[in-house]
Amino acid sequence: MSFYGTVYRKAIFPFYSKYIKKSNVHSEFTDAKQRLNWSIKDLQEFQWKRLEKLLHHCWNNVPYYRTVWEKSGIKDISEIESLADFERLPILTKQDVNDNYDQLIPESARGKNIKKATGGSTGQPFRFELDELSNDARQAIMWRGYGWLHAGIGAKSFFLWGDNVGKVSLLRKIKEVLYHRFYNRKMVSTFDMNIGHMDKYVQEINSYSPETIVSYVNPLYEVAKHINRTQSKVHSPKSLLTGAEPLYEYQRAEIEQAFKSKVYNTYGCREFMLIAAECIQQKGLHINIDHLVVETLDENNKNIESDAGDIVITDLMNYGMPLIRYVNGDRATLSDVSCACGNPLPMIEKVNGRKLDVIKTASGQIIPGELFPHLFKEFEGLIKFQVKQSHIESLDISLVTDEQFNNNDLVIIENEINKYSKKELSIKLHMVDDIPLTSSGKYRVTISEL
């Protein structure tokens, strides 16, 4: 680790967290890291105590849960005495949250929560809230997971990630650059990636010489293919972390060949941040069960193991807007195998989640599917969306909207996409009543038939 990185991790970050930000991130991180020395039994007992406390809070303070739990036959929350009993509680969908938003927020948290939005990789923009301590705790869990992959607090990091959409002021740009420099990282947008300009990304990486690279899967894969094809010289970091979409073994092999470094997959979503992460063994992802309860369900909403199921998550720390048995729209296969690395956290064998297809133009522009959820989350009147490319010169976008959506929103959407496609795509916006499910019962946000 660099001199600045070491000083930042040992002195600057603890001081900044406690005295400047007045947050609990560093203390939560210290506690979370210490829990990796526990046994799996101790972790499970800790998880249950946190869950039990949260359930009592919801029963007494969150109107929605009291109502639906009673309707499901629960006469008193004290009936839920184990994780097996916990499976009796109804699942929570995005639609449930949208329809009962106010009833999911305790009176004591109203007006105090942090408000968040996600574009919704299922094609349905989603808004939620969380309290300050929950926000601190999830950051701490992220730093812990990144830490065992050489990308923790203070590590010099290069992010191939998303960027702001819409017009951003010069002052805000300067603030963001300084903010990321303080955290010892550099952010490079993938939303305007062009296959003809891959050398630019290689040069950026070489110039910065990061200890780790964090990226969406497909953009990093495209850069790696360019490096291998052209035999370009590129800086080799200690590790590469991927996220936001499934990582396939052929992609891992291509990236590792290009950078001469190991690729580690992570799994998370905006509602919970880091859910699980690989370790040096690369044989599955460790689940943060001290922060979350992660289940997989079959088509009858029954818990399933050793086979792919719908992921259902409970955030043990969010008392501002508790998400209990929340269906996030992804699929995974859980594992009962202990990892040889010594990390006691249990494993996800494989994330079988959706892949956001890449949109392309005739000149070689590459627009990652992640752009569209990132863009569409800004429009409150947009209920669902789907982006489909059947021809290299055009893009069909289906939109389900309500009365808050207006014609000016259509103009903004077209202008934003034109910015990243260099106006090479004929954009066709279709106002529809609904968007059909796939044969697997899911929505696909982006579909490329090229």
Please indicate, yes or no, whether residues 17 and 45 belong to a single structural domain of this protein: yes
Q: For the residues 379-399, what does the mean pLDDT come to? A: 90
CATH number for the domain that contains residue 401? 3.30.300.30
From CA 370, how far away is CA 253, in angstroms rounded?
A: 23
pLDDT at 356: 61
CA nearest neighbour of 10 among 31, 26, 22 = 26
Q: For the residues 288-317, what does the mean pLDDT come to? A: 92
| Residues 6+ away with beta carbon under 8 Å from 218 | 245, 356, 358, 368, 369
Q: Does 298 or 56 have the greater pLDDT score?
A: 56
- To the nearest whole percent, how much of the chain has pLDDT over 70? 94
pLDDT at 364: 85
DSSP label at residue 348: E
Count Cβ atoms below 10 Å from residue 90 Cβ, excluding itself: 15
β partners of residue 240: 213, 263
What pTM was computed for the model? 0.80
Please indicate, yes or no, whether residues 152 and 184 belong to a single structural domain of this protein: yes
pLDDT band per the 50, 70, 90 thresholds, residue 368: confident
| Residues 6+ away with beta carbon under 8 Å from 96 | 64
CATH number for the domain that contains residue 310? 3.40.50.12780
* C-alpha triplet 280, 281, 283: angle, nearest 5°: 130
pLDDT at 358: 77
Please indicate, yes or no, whether residues 95 and 166 belong to a single structural domain of this protein: yes
pLDDT at 440: 41
Q: Please provide the average confidence, as pLDDT, over all residues in the chain.
A: 90
Asked which of 336, 354, 372 is the last residue of a domain, the reply is: 354
CA nearest neighbour of 386 among 332, 310, 449, 331 = 449
Q: Has residue 163 got a pLDDT over 70? A: no
DSSP label at residue 303: B
Q: Which two tokens stand for residue 348?
A: 């996800």
From CA 136, how far away is CA 134, in angstroms rounded?
A: 5
Please indicate, yes or no, whether residues 222 and 136 belong to a single structural domain of this protein: yes
pLDDT band per the 50, 70, 90 thresholds, residue 439: very low
Please indicate, yes or no, whether residues 77 and 54 belong to a single structural domain of this protein: yes
CA nearest neighbour of 273 among 146, 362, 102, 448 = 146
pLDDT at 384: 80
pLDDT at 443: 58
Q: Which two tokens stand for residue 365?
A: 């522009």
Please indicate, yes or no, whether residues 88 and 62 belong to a single structural domain of this protein: yes
**Do residues 334 and 347 make contact, with C-beta atoms less than 8 angstroms apart?**
yes
- Domain tally for the chain? 2
Q: CB burial class (10 A; 0-12, 13-18, 19+) of residue 133?
A: middle
**Do residues 414 and 408 make contact, with C-beta atoms less than 8 angstroms apart?**
no
Please indicate, yes or no, whether residues 425 and 281 belong to a single structural domain of this protein: no
pLDDT band per the 50, 70, 90 thresholds, residue 441: very low
From CA 1, how far away is CA 210, in angstroms rounded?
A: 10
Please indicate, yes or no, whether residues 328 and 371 belong to a single structural domain of this protein: no
Q: Which of 214-218, 337-341, 412-416 has the lowest mean pLDDT?
A: 214-218
pLDDT band per the 50, 70, 90 thresholds, residue 329: confident
Helix (H) or strand (E) holding 175: helix 170-182
From CA 329, how far away is CA 76, in angstroms rounded?
A: 30
Q: Which of 147-161, 312-326, 370-384 has the lowest mean pLDDT?
A: 370-384
Q: Which two tokens stand for residue 6?
A: 């070491």
Mind listing the pLDDT tens digit for each residue in 170-215? 787 788 878 889 989 999 988 777 767 889 999 999 999 999 999 9
Q: Has residue 295 got a pLDDT over 60? A: yes
Please indicate, yes or no, whether residues 408 and 329 belong to a single structural domain of this protein: no
Q: For the residues 111-122, what does the mean pLDDT come to? A: 79
Cβ-count burial 67-87 (b if 16+ within 10 Å, e if not): ebbeeeebeebeebeeeeebb
pLDDT band per the 50, 70, 90 thresholds, residue 57: very high
Q: Has residue 221 got a pLDDT over 50? A: yes
Q: Has residue 246 got a pLDDT over 90? A: no
Asked which of 354, 381, 416 is the last residue of a domain, the reply is: 354
pLDDT at 289: 98
Mind listing the pLDDT tens digit for each residue in 249-284? 888 999 999 999 999 999 998 899 999 999 999 999
Please indicate, yes or no, whether residues 139 and 211 belong to a single structural domain of this protein: yes
Please indicate, yes or no, whether residues 266 and 149 belong to a single structural domain of this protein: yes
**Do residues 435 and 122 make contact, with C-beta atoms less than 8 angstroms apart?**
no
Asked which of 306, 335, 354 is the last residue of a domain, the reply is: 354
Please indicate, yes or no, whether residues 329 and 406 belong to a single structural domain of this protein: no
Q: Does 119 or 139 have the greater pLDDT score?
A: 139
pLDDT band per the 50, 70, 90 thresholds, residue 437: low
Q: Which two tokens stand for residue 349?
A: 């064998």
pLDDT at 353: 64
Q: Has residue 350 got a pLDDT over 50? A: yes
Residue 242's domain comprises 1-354
Q: Which two tokens stand for residue 172?
A: 């805000």
Q: Which of 383-392, 407-416, 430-439 has the lowest mean pLDDT?
A: 430-439
Residue pointed to by tokens 């991927």 = 242
Q: Where are the alpha helices (DSSP H) in 231-381?
A: 249-259, 371-376
From CA 29, how far away is CA 110, in angstroms rounded?
A: 27
Q: Which of 13-17, 78-82, 102-106, 442-446 has the lowest mean pLDDT?
A: 442-446
From CA 168, how far away is CA 267, in angstroms rounded?
A: 29
Count Cβ atoms below 10 Å from residue 302 Cβ, excluding itself: 9
Q: Has residue 395 got a pLDDT over 90? A: yes
Residue type at 283 in one-letter notation: K
Residue type at 154 in one-letter notation: G
From CA 180, how far away is CA 193, in angstroms rounded?
A: 21
Q: Which two tokens stand for residue 275?
A: 């859910």
Mind listing the pLDDT tens digit for each residue in 68-79? 999 999 999 999
